């Protein structure tokens, strides 16, 4: 893999004919180090957010050895990392996935949110006595750009009953939740931990581990989250108030916050029509979130210099497929003179961009390069001074 000092250097040197992922492993490593130092518990990585070997290598090199996986394919990939501890945190798993995870890969940690799933886990592991079972509870999404409400999580009397039943059969009882991805204020975790508190009291069970999930924010052009330190403080306070806090592990499993900044997408303008730019990647590629969730990623022109006085103006993007939902409405602020043949760096797409991209219409094939410069926006204090914009 070639290394470049910047996106501009990559474009100049490699004259690509496809969209390019500009990977900044040092940014992922820095994010991981920050979490390992500041989160008041253990830090796992949600593998789904970005599976690039460079990203995983950077996180692992920084000290992340626990991974949350959601499928057998992720599990098989992650299991190749030496000495990893894998958590199978999808609340609905096939029987074959449970069998394979437990018997072939030695996974002991599973999430569940129903009695049916509990029964399934017990049946497929042969009534194992060494299970770490995390009951996923439903919590409201507050200031989350990607709420994960409704699909998973138990609540009220059902949750208390499930906690009691699970306690009776597991080695370690955990509780987990997800406040929604790109949660921009820490009160979501405060509310969630209060709900954990209420349920522990209601069920009257000893809980050995609390996993606060992911949800921690990244910076985007239209998203200015509270500092990550405020999230750490809120979680620490909420956790310490729990009646079980003294003898309980605390875990988080961020995806977005560890990798969002660490990857840019470099795209070429193939046509301009007024304020509409037709680019060579889109909603079926790495820009799903821009198209469907209206994320406004930071952008900059990288293929040529522009006079410093040149004004920026709002543009929208069309992706390369024939489909009219392949549209990223933005607005994305770029120099007024932008034209066909220009290359744009779209920053902070490291979370879920690469992971979601498909091959519709023959697109979705990328080149890659390592970038040594800093991400376009950062949440991490050390990088702040060096960040290119923001
Ligand atoms: C169970 C679980 N944990 C962690 C994550 C990572 O969330 P985020 O990327 O918002 O940190 C997800 C995302 O969907 C998830 O479903």
Which tens digits make up the pLDDT trace of 92-122?
Answer: 999 999 999 999 999 999 999 999 999 999 9
| Long-range contacts of 90-94, Cβ-Cβ distance < 8 Å, separation of 24 or more | 91/117, 91/136, 91/152, 91/153, 92/117, 92/152, 93/117, 93/120, 93/121
Ligand 1 close to Cβ of residue 49 (< 6 A): yes
85 CA distance to ligand 1 middle (Å): 17
Ligand 1 close to Cβ of residue 219 (< 6 A): no
Report the alpha-carbon distance of residue 350 to residue 333 in Å, rounded.
Answer: 20
Fold of 3-22+260-384: Lyase, Ornithine Decarboxylase; Chain A, domain 1 (2.40.37)
Cα separation of the two ends of the chain: 29
According to the model, what pLDDT value does residue 148 have? Answer: 86
Element (H, E) at 279: strand 276-279
Report the alpha-carbon distance of residue 314 to residue 305 in Å, rounded.
Answer: 19
255 CA distance to ligand 1 middle (Å): 6
Which residues in the chain come in under a pLDDT of 50?
385, 388-390
pTM > 0.85: yes
Domain limits, CATH 3.20.20.10, in the chain: 26-259
Ligand 1 close to Cβ of residue 320 (< 6 A): no
3-state secondary structure of 361: helix
Ligand 1 close to Cβ of residue 255 (< 6 A): yes
The CATH number of the structural domain formed by 26-259 is 3.20.20.10
Which tens digits make up the pLDDT trace of 337-382?
Answer: 999 999 999 999 999 999 999 999 999 999 999 999 999 999 998 6
Domain limits, CATH 2.40.37.10, in the chain: 3-22+260-384
According to the model, what pLDDT value does residue 94 have? Answer: 97
């Amino acid at each position: 893999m070639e290394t470049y000092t910047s996106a501009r250097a990559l474009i100049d040197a490699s004259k690509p004919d496809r969209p390019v992922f500009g990977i900044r492993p040092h940014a992922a490593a820095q994010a991981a180090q920050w979490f390992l130092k500041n989160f008041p518990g253990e830090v796992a990585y949600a593998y789904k957010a970005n599976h690039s070997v460079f990203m995983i290598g950077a996180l692992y090199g920084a000290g992340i050895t626990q991974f949350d996986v959601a499928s057998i394919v992720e599990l098989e990939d992650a299991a190749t990392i030496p000495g990893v501890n894998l958590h199978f945190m999808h609340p609905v798993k096939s029987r074959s996935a449970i069998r394979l995870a437990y018997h072939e890969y030695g996974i002991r940690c599973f999430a569940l949110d129903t009695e049916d799933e509990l029964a399934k886990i017990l049946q497929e592991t042969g009534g194992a006595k060494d299970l770490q079972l995390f009951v996923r509870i439903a919590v409201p999404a507050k200031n989350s750009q990607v709420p994960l409400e409704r699909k998973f999580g138990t609540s009220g009397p059902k949750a208390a009953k499930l906690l009691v039943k699970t306690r009776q059969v597991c080695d370690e009882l955990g509780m987990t939740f997800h406040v929604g991805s790109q949660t921009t204020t820490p009160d979501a975790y405060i509310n969630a931990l209060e709900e954990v508190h209420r349920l522990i009291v209601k069920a009257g069970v000893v809980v050995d581990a609390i996993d606060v999930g992911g949800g921690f924010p990244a910076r985007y052009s239209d998203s200015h989250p509270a500092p990550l330190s405020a999230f750490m403080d809120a979680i620490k306070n909420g956790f310490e108030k729990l009646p079980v806090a003294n003898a309980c592990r605390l875990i988080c499993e961020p995806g977005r916050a560890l990798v969002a900044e660490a990857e840019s997408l470099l795209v070429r303008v193939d046509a301009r029509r007024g304020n509409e730019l037709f680019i060579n990647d889109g909603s079926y590629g790495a820009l799903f979130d821009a198209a469907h969730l209206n994320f406004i990623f930071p952008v900059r022109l990288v293929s040529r210099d522009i006079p410093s006085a040149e004004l920026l103006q709002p543009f929208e993007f069309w992706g390369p497929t024939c489909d009219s939902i392949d549209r990223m409405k933005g607005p994305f602020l770029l120099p007024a003179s932008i034209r066909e043949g220009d290359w744009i760096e779209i920053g902070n797409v490291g979370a879920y961009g690469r992971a979601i991209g498909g091959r519709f219409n023959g697109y979705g094939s990328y080149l890659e390069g390592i970038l040594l410069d800093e991400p376009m926006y950062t949440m991490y204090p050390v990088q702040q001074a060096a960040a290119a914009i923001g």
